[in-house]
Every structure is written in C-alpha cells, then in structure tokens.
Amino acid sequence: MPDQLKIILRKFLIWRYKHIPEKQFIYILSAVIGLLAGLVAVTIKNLVHLIQKLLEGQFIKELHQAFYFIFPLIGLFLVLIIKKKIIKKKLGHGIPSTLFAISKQKGFMPKHQMWASLITAPLTVGFGGSVGLEGPAVATSSAIGSNFTRLFHINQTTRTLLIGAAAAGSMASIFKAPIAAIVFTVEIFSLELTMASMIPLLLASISAVLTSYFFFGDDVLLHFTLQESFGFKDIIFYVFLGVISGTVSVYFSKVYFKINDFSRSITNLYKRLLIGGILLGVIVYFVPPLFGEGYETVNNVLKGNIEPVLVNNIFNSPTDNIWIVILLLLGLIVFKIVATSFTFGAGGVGGIFGPTLFTGSVTGYVVALIINHSNLFVHQLSLTNFAMVGMAGLMAGILHAPLTAIFLIAEITGGYELFIPLMIVSSISYIITKKYVPLNIYHKQLAERGQLLTHNKDKNVLMMLDLDKVIETNFIILTPEMTLGEVVKNAVVKSPRNHFPVVNENHEFLGILTLNDIRGIMFDKKLYDTVKVESLMRSAQDIIYYEKHSAEDILNKFKATGAWNLVVVKNGKYFGFISKSRLLTAYRQTLINVTGNE
C-alpha cells in the first residue's frame, strides 16, 4: 500500500475510534461486505453467461454441434494455464478453503483468492464444466471480507463473523433468499447464532439481496410457482421421497470421494487434465443437459416442462414413451455427479451446490413420475412440488444442511405451503446420509486433517492453536556416548532445564535424561568417566508426532500419561518439547481471541 494511502487510513482509524463505537462500525462493515459479496455474485454469473453466449454464437455454431466434447477440455486447459502462469499459488476449493482459513489461519485468507476464482470459475463453467458457481462466489466474497478487515485491524472473533457475513451475502445474492443464507452460514461455518452475530449477518444478506435486485430486478435463479397445495394424503409419498433422497445422496457422496481420490492419485497435472477433461467431454457430448451449471434444466423440471431436457438425447429415443423418459432422467441423476467429479478432478474450479440442486430436482420429479404411472395408486402427485422438495432432500443429505434446505426452498417458493414435506424429506434424507457418510463434501478432507470447525467450542479452540508457538526447542541435546562428567559440565551447569533429549548421529530421538535420573550420582566424580548416557537415559512417556497429532491429541496424551513435558518428533527427527503448562496457557489465550472474552 502506498505511503499516502497508509497515512489516510491511519487518520481515518483515529477518527473512527473517536466518533464511531465498535458495534456500529461492525454493522457498517457488514453492510459494505454484503454489497461487495453481491457484486461478486453478479460478476461471476454474468461472466459465465458471456462465455456461453460467445460459444453459442454464429461463428462456431457448427463446431458447437460437431465437437461439443471439446469445449470442457479447452476451458479446463485455460484454467490450468491461468493457475500456473498468472496465479502461481495454490487455489483452494471454494467453501473448504474458507473453512480452512477460519480454523487454521485465524481468518486470514490469501489476497489472490479475492480475484482468482472470478476468472477460473467462469471459464470452468462457461466452457461446460459440470459444477456450480456458489462455492467460488462464497470463497471470493469471504476472501474480500477477510482482507477488508485487515485494513481496519479487526480482531479474530469479529473477522470470523465478517467472513460469515460475506458468505451469507453471497448466497443471499445468488438465490435472493436472505434467511436461508444466514442459516447456511451457521450450519456450514459452525458460527454461533447470537444477537451479536445475527445483526451483521442480516445486514450483509440484506445489502447483498438489494445489490442483486439492482442488477437483475425481480428475476430469480430458480423459477417456481406453487400449483398444488400439500395434502395429508401425500405424506407417505414424501416419506418415500426422503428415503430415495438419502439413497441418492449416499451415492452422490461416495462417487464424488472415489473419483476425487482417483484424480489425486494422478500426480501429473497435465495427465490429470487430459484424462478428466476427455471423460467429462464424452459425458457432456452424450448427455447435453450436464453441460455447465444446469440451472436451465432445473427450471424446466420445476415447470414440469421436460421436453427441452430430453428432446436432443444422443440415442434419439422417443420422448412419448413415459418409461423411456424415466430412464433418460435416471441417466441425468447417475451421471451428473460423475461429470461434476471429473470436472473437479481435471482441475476445474467450481462448487457442489449447483449439482446438488440439479440432482435433487430430477430425483424428486422422477419419483413422482414413477408413482403416477405405476398403476399402483389412484392418487396423482404434483411433479413440480416433488421436484422442488427433492432439491431440499439432496441438499440435506449431500451438504448435511437440513435447515438450509428447508428455508431455502421455502423462500424460493414464496411461502410455507410445502414446509411440512420439506421437513419430512430433509430430515429423513439427512439421517440416512449421515449414517453412511458421516462427513459432507465440504468437511471430509478438513476433518481428516483435524482442521474442521464444529459447534464444539473446546475442540475449535484446540484446533486453532498454533503449535509452533507452543513447542520449545532450546534444550541442550545429549548423545548416548556422552559421559556423566560431560553431562554435568555441558548440560546441567549450563541449562535451567531439568530434562534433556538424547539423539543419535542422525538426530533421531532415542530417549530422555532427567536430573532425577542422575541426582544420586552427579556429584560422584569417580563415575564421571565411566558412566555414560546410554545407561542412564529412559524412554519418553509418550511421543508427539508433529505431522500427525493435533492439539486435542496432545492434550489427551497429557491426560493419559500424567506427564508435564512431552517430546516432539518432526519428519522422524527430534524437534523439541511441549509442556502442559505452556499448552494450557496457549489454550486460554486462544479462547480469549476466539470469544473476545477475558
């Protein structure tokens, strides 16, 4: 930042401290961040529409039909080049990157995340990548919120809140559903919903929604008109939809994890791009509705107009046969997650929210369609209602966000006529999926590394501890060949410590020697040259492995052993010690930083 801007900012901060109370200033920042989040959502959507319009132009219209599968590969290649030549830094995946910043980086997000996804996500989706834009929009908005707070020296607690406000603003702008956006932030980001946090989230959501209205007017992402009210006789069918939604959610999650693991096993980025890009292109060529986000398909399904979805199927199957229609729609359910996973695996940038809504709408529609044409029931179900509620079922299952699912669909439908079926389907789907897929797509990788925020405050504080600041390395190191005299002269006399690590020539940890171990003989000079460390040292009560153990693991080790100091091994070598008192002191300080309470 130029010196002149620093001076202006410093003067503003001084003025602000004098004239604007902290709480009111946070409210102002929330509204501004919401505005920026709304602009991000508008920008990212318009860039995708621009790219798709160019691809569908007259100049390449013939190529568009003949070489449909080429476009996703081109888009993914452009994204890889931008990553390597322009960004030159790791670009995290949407919402997980935001969760990681909150849990392990004190809410500080890299500056390049404020703009990187604005370029790479539209290229991925615009050229046919079968992913959504909600995740990149949330990550970009959160990064802007994080770096915005740096300017005003905001503490960690408030910074986390404003990152959540940015996320809520982004979701509110996309769906024009401010309440659902707040619920989403609380569920996914594990924020505490108090009056202190509610107002900033509300202000950000309102500001973002107004921004969206300013640019898009009354137009909404999902178009739905309630045509048939919910009836008591529909309950059993919604229970069935909940079970099917849970089953599809498990399938969706399992396939995503499997393909993701397969892609990560390919270390060469260009080979990964080629394999994933070609497979994605082939899938999109044979199943055109999987091209891009798929909201056009979703809206057709919500209107009950599925002819545009199926009319150009590659098999040229007639769409007047209802069972062929059902098979084609089942194909969309089966292959959507495959296309999404290969998009991510090939290096594409996007989110999972859009594919979840796509799969959910088709699932609900197909369930109602099968029941209506099975000749087992006289009662006819509303296809569009089931499509809408199906989206909630998949959201509750795949994202583990049942409340978000309920409130988002309720807001989109403009009322609460479907509230009961939404609750039935979402709760059943969530219960089933949670049993077989304990961690959702956003949380799995972070949880495996012990970096996942939850609603458990103690665990969150332990996870946020900076272990590097807790580890002490200023210990005098001994070797097994050292004599008692050398220990007394070079270690005991020179060190205020009462324990010393013993290592070999490769700096590998062998054991510990304490003052208690030599107290009875340390003044007997006759033993100075004959007694060696290897005969005096003892094993450590337990060992902390730097790459493996979290702060919670370390605290459990202290409880189990009753030790006051434990050795730390890093990359197979001795690294230092952690003391219980130092760990507890760091815990208390982190707790103060997180909660803002002394």
Give the strands of the sheet with 543-545, arranged side by side.
Answer: 543-545, 565-570, 573-579
- Which CA distances in Å does 59 have to 55, 123, 126, 404? 8, 19, 17, 43
Q: Does the structure show a pLDDT above 90 at 189? A: no
**Which pair of structure tokens corresponds to residue 272?**
């990964």
**pLDDT of the residue at 449:** 54
pLDDT the model gives residue 273: 92
Beta pairing class for 499-503 and 509-514: antiparallel
> According to the CATH classification, is domain 3-216 in 1.10.3080.10?
yes
Q: Which amino acid is at 314?
A: I
Which residues fall within 8 angstroms of residue 115, CB to CB, at 6 or more apart?
Answer: 140
Count of Cβ atoms closer than 10 Å to residue 303 Cβ:
16
CATH superfamily of 459-595: CBS-domain (3.10.580.10)
- Tokens coding 33: 């961040």
- E-assigned strand segments in 528-588: 543-545, 565-570, 573-579
pLDDT tens per residue, range 368-383 = 999 988 877 777 899 9
Which secondary-structure segment (H or E) carries 514?
Answer: strand 509-514
Residue range(s) of every CATH 3.10.580.10 domain in the chain: 459-595
pLDDT, mean over the chain? 85
Could you give the C-alpha distances from 298 to 18, 358, 383, 409, in angstroms and in order? 52, 6, 13, 13
Q: Is the pLDDT of residue 206 over 50?
A: yes
Q: Does position 596 have pLDDT exceeding 70, yes or no?
A: no
**Model confidence at 469, in pLDDT bands (50, 70, 90)?**
confident
Nearest to 412 by CA among 437, 435, 389, 383: 389
The CA-atom distances, in angstroms, between 177 and each of 168, 205, 312, 412, 484 are 10, 8, 33, 7, 73
- Chain-centroid distance of CA 294 in Å reads 21
Q: How confident is the model at residue 119 (pLDDT cuts 50, 70, 90)?
A: very high
User: Which two tokens mark 95?
Assistant: 């919402």
pLDDT value of position 593: 63
Tell me how far the alpha carbon of residue 444 is from its chain's centroid. 9
Q: How many of the other CB atoms lie within 10 Å of CB of 534?
A: 15
- Whether 93 shows a pLDDT value over 70: the answer reads no
Query: Residue 403 corresponds to which amino acid?
Result: L
Q: DSSP characters for 419-448?
A: HHHHHHHHHHHHHHHHHH-SS-TTTHHHHH
In the predicted model, is pLDDT for residue 453 greater than 70?
no
Q: What percent of the chain has pLDDT over 70?
A: 90
Output the pLDDT for position 429: 96
Give the C-alpha separation, 576 to 565, whole Å: 10
Token couple for 546: 């730097």
Residue-wise pLDDT for 172-182, tens only, equals: 999 888 999 99
- Interatomic CA distance for residues 257 and 284, integer angstroms: 21
Confidence of residue 445 (pLDDT cuts 50, 70, 90): low
Domain ranges in the chain with CATH number 1.10.3080.10: 3-216, 232-450
The model's confidence at residue 550, banded by pLDDT at 50, 70 and 90, is confident
Model confidence at 598: pLDDT above 50: no
Distance from C-alpha of 13 to C-alpha of 235, rounded to nearest angstrom = 58
Classify 244 in phi/psi space as left (phi over 0), alpha (psi -120 to 50) or beta. alpha
The number of residues in the chain equals 598
Cβ count near 51 (within 10 Å): 20
Is 512 strand, coil or helix? strand
Dihedral sign for Cα atoms in the order 133, 221, 364, 409: positive
Kindly report, residue by residue over 13-66, the tens digit of the pLDDT.
Answer: 777 777 888 888 899 999 999 999 999 999 999 999 888 888 776 545 555 555
Please give the single-letter amino acid code of residue 142: S
Reported as a single tens digit per residue, the pLDDT across 559-586 is 888 888 899 999 889 999 998 888 888 8
Fold designation for 232-450: Clc chloride channel (1.10.3080)
Residue 519 — pLDDT band, cuts 50, 70, 90? confident
